[in-house]
A = this chain, B = another copy of it.
Amino acid sequence: MSAPVDLGALVPHLRAVCGDDGVITDAARRRTYESDGITYHAAVPGVVVLPTTAEQVAAVVRLCAERGVPFVPRGSGTGLSAGALPRPDGVLIVTSRMRRILEVDIDAQRAVVEPGVFNLDVTRAAAPHGYYYAPDPSSQQVCSVGGNIAENSGGAHCLKYGFTVNHVLGLEVVTPQGEIVELGGKAADAPGYDLIGAFIGSEGTLGIATKITVRLLRAPEKVSTMLAAFDSMDAGGQAVSAIIGAGMLPAAIEMMDALAIEAAEAAVRCDYPEGAGAVLIVELDGSAHDVDAQFDAVTALCRRAGAFEIRTASDAAERARIWKGRKSAFAAVGRISPAYIVQDGVVPRTALPEVLARIAELSARSGIRVANVFHAGDGNLHPLVLFDDADPGAAERAAEVSGAILDLCVEAGGSITGEHGVGVDKACHMPEMFTPADLETMDRFRRAFDPDGIANPEKLLPTPRLCGERPGVRTQEHPLVASGEAELF
């Protein structure tokens, strides 16, 4: 890093671009942006801007580029890898005032939106026409489409429908040099390099998406949801293998273990079957005939694997009841533990039983409880590592267990993140998955877009300065409530 820049001198220029009310310098207001969904990484941004157009974003970025000032993009601040962690020496560019749905083109089955639009609002705009937007992160009521692009967000239904990258066809992007460029468009395929795929999941290091063209899907004729209770995780896992092995592709297969169920009961009284060692939520969608036929088949496979109770949702209210426990699971863990870490890793589905057994061993050996809530169909684990932050050393032991779980995922041929991204939080784990040549290739790519290193520095790729030390862990009570929400509502 070169000598610090006088941000104060930048402010009048930022005001000229974004207007007085589009630039925040007041310390108390800046503090509301100090972290995203992972509150144990925190830093007060040097200055916050709230642009309303792509041209304003480009002008702000050019001001930063001219002076070598780093900038950090931020959507709704619900991210879980500290990808939007601000910098005291930089500008935080918040997209919350870019919230227009520009077009819903049902003929072409596309919508065009600004980056600050809430994920669920895309579906709300398409629903009257019988369409929806598929990616559905748990935070979909408040997370932004721009943030989803930065993190390549998934959701419970990405087993069948894929990630954000599978649903975005065109992007208008402000590059780290302040140019506005177009990637892709409404057509299914564009000539030249497909930089959309590379941009999606780039966590703000290649610039800021200012206009987004997404694919809309026809709402399925029927959706059926089932809850199956098993004595053990092993039995539930056998049911998952049997379902996938039979060639079925449910919209979602979610699994929770006894500890996660206990937490959900304590928090939201979801009334799952008593004494369950594991519950499985299976959701099927498609034509009514197919869904009914597959539902019968899934029921039979669950029974054969030892399900002792199977419940079926017959309407939207019952479906919501089944999902309630699952969707509240992260926050619910706060009811059974003063503090916890949400981990996010992937293993090949076939390696699930072994990895879960080894997580249990790890937990027993360390005395640190681990609750498991996960997308079983695609092997995306979300272990919740519980600890008491009043107990000296517990946070460090929990961080160790959490890190060891990632090591297990990598050893099993999986990944250090399924859908939460790398951010600051996991940048130092990247060398566990990639060779120096792999990382050097990524870094060359990054520098092609951002030669001066001002676009969200120190996120995504490891930096020697940071990776010498282990990131700290702080209590995390409400992982999905970002500290900047005051701006949102």
Contact = CB atoms under 8 A, between A and B. Distances in A.
Interface of A: 107-108, 130, 152, 154, 158, 162-163, 165-166, 175, 179-183, 185-198, 200-202, 218, 245, 247, 249, 286-287, 289-290, 293, 346, 348-350, 378-379, 413-419, 421-422, 426, 430, 433-435, 437-442, 444-449, 460-461
A413 B449 contact: no
B191 A202 contact: no
Contacts of A218: 247, 249
A154 to B, nearest CB: 7
Of the listed residues A154, A197, A430, A435, the one surrounded by the most CB atoms of chain B closer than 10 A to its CB is A197
Nearest to A241: B107
20 contacts: A107-B349, A107-B350, A166-B166, A179-B440, A182-B438, A185-B415, A186-B348, A187-B413, A189-B346, A190-B433, A191-B201, A191-B417, A191-B426, A191-B430, A192-B434, A192-B439, A192-B460, A193-B460, A195-B198, A445-B449
B460 A415 contact: no
A448 B450 CA distance: 11
A361 B234 CA distance: 68
A349 B110 CA distance: 12
Given A192-B430, A193-B445, 10 more contacts: A108-B349, A162-B188, A163-B189, A165-B197, A189-B346, A191-B421, A193-B201, A194-B201, A290-B290, A441-B449
Given A196-B197, A245-B107, A191 B445 contact: no
Of the listed residues A162, A189, A348, the one surrounded by the most CB atoms of chain B closer than 10 A to its CB is A189
B181 A194 contact: no
A176 to B, nearest CB: 11
Contacts of A108: 348-350
Nearest to A461: B192
A102 to B, nearest CB: 15
Contacts of A414: 187
A138 B253 CA distance: 37
Given A166-B166, A445-B193, A445-B445, A435 B198 contact: no
A195 B195 CA distance: 8
B189 A415 contact: yes
A434 B193 contact: no
A271 to B, nearest CB: 32
A193 B443 CA distance: 9
Given A181-B435, A245-B107, A437-B179, A442 B165 contact: no
Contact of A188 (B249, B287, B378, B434): B378
Nearest to A179: B437
Nearest to A438: B181
Nearest to A379: B187
Nearest to A245: B107
Given A187-B379, A348-B108, A193 B446 contact: yes
A198 B193 contact: yes
Contacts of A378: 188
Contacts of A444: 448-449
A211 B305 CA distance: 37
A168 B419 CA distance: 19
Contacts of A286: 290
Given A181-B438, A348-B108, A444-B448, A416 B187 contact: no
A253 to B, nearest CB: 14
A276 B350 CA distance: 53
A198 B198 CA distance: 6
Contacts of A350: 107-108
Contacts of A348: 108, 186-187
A415 B191 contact: yes
Contacts of A449: 441, 444-445
Contacts of A197: 165, 194, 196-198
Nearest to A186: B348
A179 B107 CA distance: 46
B247 A346 contact: no
A188 B163 contact: yes
A187 B415 contact: yes
A191 to B, nearest CB: 5
A435 B182 contact: yes
A413 B163 contact: no
A97 B190 CA distance: 31
